[in-house]
Amino acid sequence: MKTPLSLKLTPQPVLNALGLLLSSSILSISSLAAAETSPQELKEVEVTAEKESDTKPVKGYQAKRSTTATRTDSELVDVPQAITVITRDFIQDQSMQSIADAVRYVPGVQAAQGEGNRDQLVLRGNQTTGDLFVDGLRDDIQTYRDLYNTDRIEVLKGANGMIFGRGGAGGVVNRVSKKAGWDPVRDISVSYGSFEHRRIAADYGQGLSDELAFRLNAVYENSNSYRDGVELRRYGITPTFTIRPGDKTQIELSAEYFKDERIADRGVPAQATRTGTLTTSNADFNRRPYKIGDYDQFFGNAKLSPTEIETVAFNGAISHAFDNGVQVKNSTRLAFYDKFYQNVFANSPVSTNGQLSLAAYRDETKRENLINQTDITYDLKTGAIAHKLLGGVEINVQDTRNNRTAPSNTADDNGTFVSNLSAQSPFGTPLNFNRLVRNQQSDFTVMGVYLQDQIVFNPQWQAVVGLRHDHIDTDFTNLVSNQKINVSNNLLSPRAGLIFKPSDNSSIYASYSTSYVPRAGDQLIGLTVTAASFKPEKFVNKEIGVKWDILPSLALSAALFELERENVQVANPNNATQQILVDGQETKGIELGLSGKVTDQWQVMGAFTLQEGEITKQQGAGNGAILAGSDLTLTPTRTFSLWNKYQINEMWAVALGMVSRSEMYAALPTASQSTLLPGYTRFDAAIFAKISPKWDAQINIENLTNKDYALYAHNNNNISPGAPLNARATLNYHF
């Protein structure tokens, strides 16, 4: 933040200058000329300001601006949409290492289990693995993302089709990468913690010349878990270059290699006994997680549940400002993903005699993504009205190959068999994953064109209007049955928002937006494919909200929303390996967010959500029916989180946090399948020490009261227990 200007002037010269000005109005030109022959000498004016960093653009817990929400550099208070920014300082203070860690403090967003092999989120009641972006470009492989090369995370809620094209339904999560700049960066971080957590990360960067800057980020982690047999090994490296051949041109180039190896942990099953009584709504007739206090027991076989994901990506962006006011930016991302996971997991509740069904399969996916996006912006005025125009083109080519095999001694797609819970080994004979269950390929091409206008009518009234057209071609081939389907879609995604500004630091807005999710890639995995199943999902978001910078360093936001969804793809309650289409669902709610400094010593980050999500039309009949009014999966009525950090003195700081949610369903409830995850409240803490200008350390403690709780789930019988009391120490060296 720039400091106020400092003018060093002595009083006497100022009075003399005023006297000269007064005399000039009554004296003749000759007198003025005489006065000019003996001018008063003023002391030099000194202007002081803090230099803005090009390697750490956001400091503290509060971000003021974003280029993601509108693809233009805009203040968040002027964007008619709920946005939460998880800054680098907050990521470090919480010792976050995953997307799931970050969204704990984002209103309206929950993490899901993702079968223990990928990031999966629930945004305003909508589950997604595809609405993840990096630097505004799609990053939609089913994988885990580390935060070693992330400067901040921007979470935009509501339908975002106009900006992001396909997807962006309940919202999007965009990682902003660390950039190479001319401010030196020399950091090494080492951490060790409970359950043999071991991690080292390095961040090095500097200017190599006036035109060229370099930065390198790297990470290595080798950790175990509070879950028996579960371990994690990951490593990644990202070199980045920034080139400035002139004042108006900038080129950014980067590459990443990242590999994640772990055990696919699908948690614990439900218990067979139920609570409550059967009603037409099923709301009081539920199973509970099995012995959630036994958080370490692995159901299935950990050694036979490895997952490995390899990412190779290349990114480039060039921007140029022309003399006529036109600015052009072209961005390209080429990414290759290679993934397999094999898992043996619970596929039924635990019966009263200690038996349950286990399932096993191996899944492999290869994907190539090529994305090129061009944005053109121009500022103009029509009379007293100011416009910031944005026009753009996006081309996306995505090729996906997926196959699944199950053990040869099983019959269904899940590879299901019965095991005794108390048995030393759940297998009478070794498993051979040699029965082909699925083999399919999808080639997906998108051509998107969009236009947006940010309008300033006067200091109080603004508007954002935009429209996007996407032409989408999907070629799907079932390589087992030789079934081929070719589908084309033409989709229009409008966006409109009206903003009223009572003051420069506050706004009241109303907005409307739509988005579509066509069937491609992950949307086709597990779906019984017919021509009708390619009909895209449609999302309509209506929202009103308030944004207010209570203090220059403290921001408060509130949003009241209604999100409607049509042609919904959900898990089949009667077959966990299949997806079915449901006519519609709706989520309504209110979100509150707070971030920044309350005082110079006290920083906060808080989120509160009150929401209701339900299926709007019945799907199916009998015990397997999904009834109208059924609660949405992993959509609690209430969530609350608050993190407080207090700087005691220059050396010491402490923090205390709370994460709380109400109960939620593990999957869409039916008469035959419904598991309720109880609500919980968890407390976390941290201690920070600034040992010297080069050394600092912190200790993060999670679950201070050693609470037993269910964290999240994938379905009714794959439920992740929360971690018990644990701690992690981190030592940082700045050289």
CATH number where 440 lies: 2.40.170.20
Neighbours of 194 (CB within 10 A): 18
The Cα angle at residue 291 between residues 290 and 293, in degrees rounded to 5: 140
Q: Does residue 705 belong to any structural domain of this protein?
A: yes
| Radius of gyration in angstroms for the set of CA atoms belonging to the chain, rounded to a whole number | 28
Q: Which of 629, 637, 542, 623 has the alpha carbon at shortest distance from 582?
A: 629
* pLDDT of 197 over the 60 cut: yes
Across 141-162, average pLDDT: 93
d(CA 470, CA 164): 10
d(CA 681, CA 660): 4
Instruction: Output b/e per residue, 566-589; b: 16+ Cβ within 10 A.
Output: bbbbbbbbeebbebbbbebbbbbb
Q: Which pLDDT does position 280 carry in this prediction?
A: 45
d(CA 396, CA 390): 19
d(CA 286, CA 278): 9
d(CA 149, CA 167): 24
Q: Which pLDDT does position 574 carry in this prediction?
A: 60
* pLDDT of 334 over the 70 cut: yes
d(CA 372, CA 333): 7
Q: Which pLDDT does position 352 carry in this prediction?
A: 78
Cα separation values, 298 from 117, 238, 273, Å: 15, 35, 21
Predicted TM-score (pTM) of the model is 0.88
Q: Which pLDDT does position 1 carry in this prediction?
A: 40
> What count of residues does the chain have?
735
Q: Does residue 54 belong to any structural domain of this protein?
A: no
d(CA 90, CA 643): 9
Neighbours of 418 (CB within 10 A): 12
Across 122-136, average pLDDT: 93
d(CA 122, CA 677): 15
Q: Which pLDDT does position 623 carry in this prediction?
A: 63
d(CA 496, CA 3): 36
Across 528-533, average pLDDT: 59
Q: What total of structural domains would you count in the chain?
A: 1
Both tokens of residue 49? 């300001």
Secondary structure letter of residue 258 according to DSSP: E
Amino acid letter at 407? P
d(CA 607, CA 106): 6
- 252 beta partners: 242, 317
d(CA 721, CA 735): 40
Amino acid letter at 139? D
d(CA 137, CA 155): 14
Q: How many CA atoms lie within 13 A of 583 on its CB side?
A: 11
Strand 327-346 relative to strand 306-321: parallel, antiparallel, unpaired? antiparallel
Q: Does residue 682 belong to any structural domain of this protein?
A: yes
Q: Which domain holds residue 624?
A: 65-734
d(CA 403, CA 408): 15
Q: Which pLDDT does position 168 carry in this prediction?
A: 79
> Is residue 36 classed as helix, strand or coil in its secondary structure?
helix
* pLDDT of 278 over the 70 cut: no
d(CA 100, CA 712): 11
d(CA 612, CA 193): 38
* pLDDT of 331 over the 50 cut: yes
Neighbours of 678 (CB within 10 A): 14
d(CA 544, CA 560): 5
Across 313-319, average pLDDT: 97
Check residues 118 and 283 and name the one with the higher pLDDT: 118
Q: Does residue 343 belong to any structural domain of this protein?
A: yes
- 650 beta partners: none
- 538 — phi, psi (to 5°)? -125, 140
Residues with Cβ within 8 Å of 37's Cβ and at least 6 positions away in sequence, in order, are: none
Cα separation values, 551 from 95, 460, 503, 504, 600, Å: 27, 20, 13, 12, 11
d(CA 71, CA 133): 13
Q: Which of 526, 623, 614 has the alpha carbon at shortest distance from 573?
A: 623
d(CA 299, CA 307): 17
d(CA 253, CA 425): 51
Q: Does residue 606 belong to any structural domain of this protein?
A: yes
Q: Which pLDDT does position 14 carry in this prediction?
A: 33
Neighbours of 83 (CB within 10 A): 22
* pLDDT of 555 over the 70 cut: yes
Q: Which pLDDT does position 441 carry in this prediction?
A: 93
Tens of pLDDT, residue by residue over 204-261, are 999 999 999 999 999 999 999 999 999 999 999 999 999 999 999 999 999 999 999 9
Check residues 462 and 487 and name the one with the higher pLDDT: 462
Tens of pLDDT, residue by residue over 690-701, are 999 999 999 999
d(CA 72, CA 80): 14
Rounded percentage of the chain residues whose pLDDT exceeds 70: 84
Banded model confidence at residue 364, pLDDT cuts 50, 70, 90: very high
Residue 156 near residue 132 (C-beta atoms within 8 A)? no
Tens of pLDDT, residue by residue over 3-14, are 333 333 333 433
Q: Which pLDDT does position 3 carry in this prediction?
A: 38
Amino acid letter at 467? L
Q: Does residue 677 belong to any structural domain of this protein?
A: yes
d(CA 165, CA 297): 42
Banded model confidence at residue 36, pLDDT cuts 50, 70, 90: very low
Cα separation values, 68 from 532, 546, 635, Å: 34, 19, 26
* pLDDT of 110 over the 60 cut: yes
Banded model confidence at residue 521, pLDDT cuts 50, 70, 90: low
> Is residue 87 classed as helix, strand or coil in its secondary structure?
coil
- Burial class of residue 542 (count of CB atoms within 10 Å of its CB; 0-12, 13-18, 19+): middle
Both tokens of residue 636? 């609690």
Both tokens of residue 157? 């809620």
Tens of pLDDT, residue by residue over 42-75, are 555 554 545 678 899 999 999 999 999 999 999 9
Q: Does residue 468 belong to any structural domain of this protein?
A: yes
Q: Does residue 10 belong to any structural domain of this protein?
A: no
d(CA 260, CA 235): 7
* pLDDT of 429 over the 70 cut: no
